Structure 1
Amino acid sequence: MTVRLPGREQIEETYARLRPMVRRTPVVEIAGGDLGVAGRVLLKLELLQHTGSFKARGALNAVLAMPDGTAGAVAASGGNHGAAVAWACGIAGIEADVFVPSTSPMEKVRRIEEYGATAHIVDGYYATAYEASRAWAEGRPVLPVHAYDADAIIAGAAGVGIEIGDQAPYARRVLVPCGGGGLYSGTALALRDVMPVVPVEPERCPSLVSALAAGERVDVDVSGVAADSLGAARIGERAFAVARELAAEPLLVSDDQILAARRLLWDECRVLAEPGGVTALAALVAGKVDVRDGETVVVVISGANHPTIPADVVAPVSG
């Protein structure tokens, strides 16, 4: 089966349509030495996007593309996509129902509800929430908004790549967190003729690494500190196709490396991201990426939907 991928024209048209409604997130330089690398490091702060993650781009694109008269949307999400769908449905004036796994932080559930959606909590991880959303939607006049494996989602996420191309055309490569692969595939397609994009996965959610090793998409067990945002049990069909076409070499990082990167980002920049949001940074800090003197690497910080300033990041201040 041939997978249809958004082309350059579709990506550019999508970005132009969404540009007035989404934020052009900043790129901030941090001294490479502060992260233990020789070159220049730029952080693409997608955690400053509407709803606190890059997901707002694809969700809005998908909702705006729905036929006139659509009464509502349904989605499954670890939290970030659900909040983005709820926000987008609010703009479009339609209802949203979001199925969230019980393993997601309750703060993410509350954010979904604050944006006006109905949250349905399902035992398990993303895959079980997705199946529950499909069963619930049968016979109802609603349209599904997939979290990562849809043209509209990928074309929306490609806006991250378009902005990086404008903001840092001299960069050597881009590192992005990868769960189901919507952010990776969109960014990679937008930058395919400019610079390589490296997907980074948690060791405990290795859907892309496992698929590439097997030569086909396979189910994997998911767990760990980033499972609520990167816990896709199977890589998206489109992301898998992009990774094979562009000969991607994904990297894996441990939970300890993710938490260390999260702490470092707070200590050095006073930027507080969620664990999944710093997965790409974790690869850099852990020495898995060779950044030489004179080179520039862009690291996407993809989300910041966390309950509070957690004790594992910020130690209590006395006195």
Structure 2
Amino acid sequence: MNTTQTAGWRSEIDSASQRLAERAGHFLRQTPLWKLPASAFGIDAPGAEIWLKLEHMQVSGSFKARGMMNRLLANEIPPGGVIVASGGNAGIATAAAARALGVPCQVFLPGVSPEAKRARLRALGAEVVVVGELYPDALAACLTRQKESGALLTHAYDQPEVVAGAGTLGREIEQQGGLPDAVLVSVGGGGLIGGLAGWFEKRSRVVALEPEKAPTLFRAREAGEPVDVEVGGIAADSLGARRIGAIAWEITQQQVQDALLLSDESIRAAQHWLWKELKLAVEPAAALPLAALQTGAYRPRAGEKVCLIVCGANVDPATVA
């Protein structure tokens, strides 16, 4: 489909869901949707519910497995296998999908990627190449190598199959619990929010959350178009894209009203709370939705159903205690 076309994403997501069910049912998991009263989070909103979509329990430890497997299944894989640049999670998901399909995989990582993610990639049989410091450095090297090898390129967030695959997460939430009133989701390059907003459209309020030190969507909205931004901070390994993806930009312009920024301190506090109170060991990117609640950046109304996307768990557990 046209990557600038916002209509038709629900159909694309339905197709992705069917493809994944028929050809990768052994690979992907239906992750739990955990519903708790708002009072469990110290929130005074009578009758409100907080839903945690525990996608960190997905194969490969993040939502990325959906989009990466959909990309591989929707294309013929050449003898050179598949290639991807990633802060870690997209690479791990691509490597896991490639191993399941029995094809070679090469992953380009930036220096900011943690050793836990590199070790996971090697355990999955991927060839790991560390280049530069941030994701754009790894992407540039990956694109050069792809032209030489002819491998199938899997982009971390800016391909239609990847966005549609991520959107199956929204479809699954609706099947499990009905329509939430709001969906709070972290944004890096935008594959996840693109998929979720493409599925929910405006039937649910999709809220974009970014670290103050990696504000790709927020700055794009200020400028009126995608722009390069400096990125860093606690979640740079997962949310370190320097520019919002073209697909996510088009979808969010139509379907997402709110883009909020959160401090590294609030993200770290939420990450520790999730471990201390709920025993959920997740990476910083997965803690932004809770941080939005704890800081009051997002305030649930009485009776509101708010879904927090707990998006990934590729983290050293020792860092969350």
Q: 1:70 to 1:154 in 2, by over 3 A?
A: farther
Which residue of structure 2 lines up, in the alignment, with residue 306 of structure 1? Answer: 315
- What letter corresponds to residue 300 of structure 2 in structure 1? V
2:4 maps to which residue?
Answer: 3
Check 1:164–1:214 CA distance in 2 against 1; reply closer, same or farther (3 A cut). same
2:248 corresponds to 1:239: yes
Give the counterpart letter for 1:61 in structure 2.
N
Count of equivalent residues: 312
CA–CA distance in structure 2, aligned partners of residues 23 and 262 of structure 1: 23
Which of 255, 271, 278 is 2:280 aligned to?
Answer: 271
Is contact 1:165-1:194 (8 Å) kept?
no
TM-score of the two chains, using structure 1 as the length reference: 0.94
CA distance in 1, matches of 2:116, 2:52: 25
Q: Unaligned 5+ residue runs, structure 2?
A: none
* Separation in structure 2 between the aligned mates of residue 44 and residue 154 of structure 1, nearest angstrom: 18
Gaps of 5+ in 1: 315-319
| 2:26 paired with 1:23 | no
The one-letter code matched in structure 2 to 1:11 is I
Task: Give a deviation string over 1:227-265, Cα, whole Å, max 9, x none.
Answer: 000111000001111111124211111100001111111
* Deviations 1:260-292 (CA, angstroms, capped at 9, x unpaired): 111111122111100011112211121111212
Could you tell me how far apart the structure 2 residues matched to 1:215 and 1:194 are?
A: 25
The SS at the match of 2:232 is coil
Q: Which residue of 2 aligns with 1:105?
A: 114
Cα deviation, residue 215, structure 1: 0.3
Task: Give the AA of the match of 2:9.
Answer: G
3-state SS of 2:53 partner: strand
Q: Pick the structure with more helix per residue.
A: 2
2:124 counterpart of 1:122: no
Distance in 1 (alpha carbons) for counterparts of 2:147 and 2:177: 45
Q: Contact 2:281–2:317 (CA<8 Å) still a contact in 1?
A: no
Q: Which amino acid counterpart does residue 35 of structure 1 have in structure 2?
A: F
State the superposition RMSD in angstroms.
1.5
Q: Are the counterparts in 1 of residues 3 and 247 from structure 2 also a CA contact under 8 Å?
A: no
Selected match of 2:209 from 200, 207, 211: 200
Q: What's the offset of the Cα at 1:193?
A: 4.8
Aligned residue among 224, 230, 249 for 2:233: 224
Report the CA distance between 1:7 and its aligned residue. 2.5
Could you tell me whether the CA contact under 8 Å between 1:11 and 1:155 is conserved in 2?
yes
Which residue does the alignment assign to 1:88? 97
